Structure 1
Amino acid sequence: MNVQEFQNKLKEIQTIAKANGNSLTAIQIRDTFAGMELDKTQLLGVLKYLTSQGIQIEGMEDSATEETKEPERKKIPLTPEEETYLRNYLEELPELSIDTAQAFAALANGDQDALQSLTSYYMKETAKMAADMNAEEIFLADLIQEANLALIQALGSAGNEVRDEKWLMNEVRKGIIAVLEEQTQRKFADDSLVARVEKLESAVRELNDDEDDKNAFSIDELAIILDMKVDEIRDVLRLTGDDK
């Protein structure tokens, strides 16, 4: 896949979405990416990215739409070290017994003690949920902390409506999913950067093979030959240590 072309296509489809009130049809997406020969997994990755940007997609099959909303993730078993960490973490949390219905009612009245009690009480369930959603994109310890943050944010924004456990755990789950999506997008960006580095190194090798002088091409000339921006080439060279 040509990474630069793919990134240009992403920008193009987002421009189309903006012109259509942040909405796209499945046909528009397929037409834009026609010729790139994306497989189903790659297409779903595009859909996931677009929906994460708040773009509504119309005319998509139910199954594809469902996968876009919350893609099925491969369950990653905990390593022995992670199992030990989780066990120790749970053992360090205090054993609490509270009337959750009463606490949620008090929370709706702005009771900060109720907020603290609910936070402490649900930390074990939050950690267990994070462990159940363990993923390659993030360390378990970091995911648990992110889950705790989602717990605190949910309780802090509960408002004056009387909430319940089902609502709270759903909010925590959404928070965990958001973190995993962010990590996935970051990995996508990192992979794209790696691809650009490989593209530059490969092209320079090919050019050097045809030239006696290894410094035959300036950065400006490489930018024209490789259809890359000068700043992009400079960034790649800095990463590889070849900018000296």
Structure 2
Amino acid sequence: MNQEIFQQKLKDLVTLANQNHKQLHQQVARQFFQEDGLSDQQLSLVLEYLRSQGIRVTGMPEGDEAKPASLTFAPKADSDSSSHSEEAAQTPSPSQETPAALSPEDAQALEEYRAHFSSQPQPSPEEVSRLFAAASAREGGALQQLAELYLPVVVELCAQLPGDIPLQDKVQEGSLGLWAALEAGLPASGQDQYLREAISRSVSRLLQEESQQKLQDNYLVERVRSLEAKVRELTEDSEVKFSVEELSAFLDMEVEEIQAILKLTGED
């Protein structure tokens, strides 16, 4: 399945769960992706992602519904771990650069994120190397653990990207981008850069969409104001009411555009 489509469907599923008081039956999630031909392992990863977002997945085998998303590392020797890039053997650094201008709410959220992450135990480079190797082999739980390991990176990257979207929304979008990249498969080298670029690309796309929407809204507002001003000019010395077709001819505007603007202003 196309990565962007998968990412959008994950986002829609999270929205659905949030509307249901952060709760979702596992069968709903399975039906959501029924036409996409996901394997049982991929569907399990989707359910793990939902739980990582604080969503309670119901209908699971007893004991699994409340299963915490914990960052654990099995002491498994991996003879292939040396084949992974040296950067993958280092704990991902959040790189706390100066964030973009944040609202008071976002600054508070960033502070809370950092306080939470600083209280968490950090894995050793050997554990990180084994985790990357396990994730590349798509071993059970490894992708989820790697996603959790990169959450501080997601937060810091989001804080550095300016935009009017709340930080928590950017973090959610960045997490979706991270998860989609993990689900698509890790490259043989440059895994850290690959994940960071996926996070930034996902959030940047969201910010671009928000910026485009704002431009469209501003353009529409200006068109409404312009139409109102021109109509006043035409009618200020007359009580005659012009039809939409006449206004179209006078103002050199499409009938459909005038109708859309009049509808927004509540005029007939």
- TM-score of the superposed pair, with normalisation by structure 1: 0.61
Aligned with 1:147 (options 174, 177, 195): 174
- Equivalent AA in structure 2 for residue 153 of structure 1: A
**Other-structure match for 2:256:** 231
Alignment partners' CA distance in 2, 1:113 and 1:79: 36
Q: CA RMSD in A?
A: 2.1
Contact 2:177 2:202 in 1 (8 A): yes
Counterpart CA distance in 2 for 1:237 and 1:201 is 9
Picking from 113, 135, 156, the partner of 1:107 is 135
Letter of the 1:118 counterpart: L
Q: Does 1:95 align with 2:120?
A: yes
1:90 offset after TM fit, Å? 3.9
Q: How many percent identity over aligned positions?
A: 33
- 2:231 aligned partner: 204
Asked if the contact 1:107–1:162 (Cα under 8 Å) also holds between the matched residues in 2, the reply is: no
Aligned to 2:150: 122
Any gaps of 5 or more consecutive residues in structure 2? 1-98
Mapping 1:24-63, distance limit 5 Å: none
Amino acid at match of 2:259: R
User: How many pairs were matched up?
Assistant: 166
Q: C-alpha separation between the residues in 2 aligned to 1:90 and 1:154?
A: 24
1:69 maps to what in 2? none
Greater RCO between the two (CA within 8 Å, min separation 6)? 2
Partner of 2:185: 158
Post-superposition, which runs of at least 4 consecutive aligned residues in structure 1 deviate over 6 A? none
Match of 1:25 in 2: none
Give, as a single letter, the amino acid of the residue that structure 2 aligns with 1:188.
L
Determine if contact 2:100/2:159 at 8 Å carries over to the other structure: no
Q: Which residue of 2 aligns with 1:170?
A: 197
Is the 8 Å Cα contact of residues 108 and 162 (structure 1) preserved in structure 2?
no
Greater share of residues in helix: 1
Q: Which amino acid aligns with 2:236?
A: D
Which residue, 77, 84, 109 being the options, matches 2:101? Answer: 77
Structure 1 spans left out of the alignment, 5+ residues: 1-74
Secondary structure at 1:155 match in 2: helix
Q: Which residue of 2 aligns with 1:86?
A: 110
Question: Structure 1 pair 107/79, CA: closer, same or farther in 2 (3 Å)?
Answer: same
Give 1:79 deviation, angstroms: 2.5
The answer as to whether partners of 1:119 and 1:152 remain within 8 angstroms in 2 is: yes
